[in-house]
Amino acid sequence: MRCEGEVVLIYYQDQPTVYARIESIETDIKKDWYHITLLLLTLPAQTITWILRESYIDGESFTMEDVPVRLEEVKKLSPRVSPREDPSASEPSGKKESAGKTGKVIPFRK
């Protein structure tokens, strides 16, 4: 089951609609149902609470007023390691191949 702090993408009518962060998941009186509080990452941000089964929280499609809805996990991207920080990226010859364009660093001055 998803956990607090995770970001999900909400599909509404089978279209990706809005990102949300899971704020809390609390058990409901009914067995296998949960109160899931989501912070919708919109402007302005909004908080909603839905009562869902565990399978719905995990991505199974469900309906609200006959409209299909689904929560999809947003995969975390691991940060890229720069060649200076990655010891395996050093080449003994001192020559490095550039995968893309190199940029110029311009310092900010007052």
**48 domain residue, yes or no:** yes
Examine residue 110 and state whether it is found in any structural domain, yes or no.
Answer: no
Domain containing 52: what range? 7-73
Q: In the chain, how many domains are there? A: 1
Instruction: Give the H or E element holding residue 55.
Output: helix 54-57
Between β-strands 67-73 and 7-12, what pairing exists: parallel, antiparallel or unpaired?
antiparallel
Residue 40 lies in a domain: yes
103 falls within a domain? no
Establish if 92 belongs to a structural domain: no
State the pLDDT at residue 82: 61
In this structure, is residue 96 part of a structural domain? no
pTM (two decimals): 0.68
Buried b (16+ CB within 10 A) or exposed e, 87-102: eeeeeeeeeeeeeeee
What is the token pair recorded at 17?
Answer: 């609609």
Q: What is the mean pLDDT of each run of 10 residues along the chain (110 residues)?
A: 90 96 95 95 96 94 95 86 58 54 77
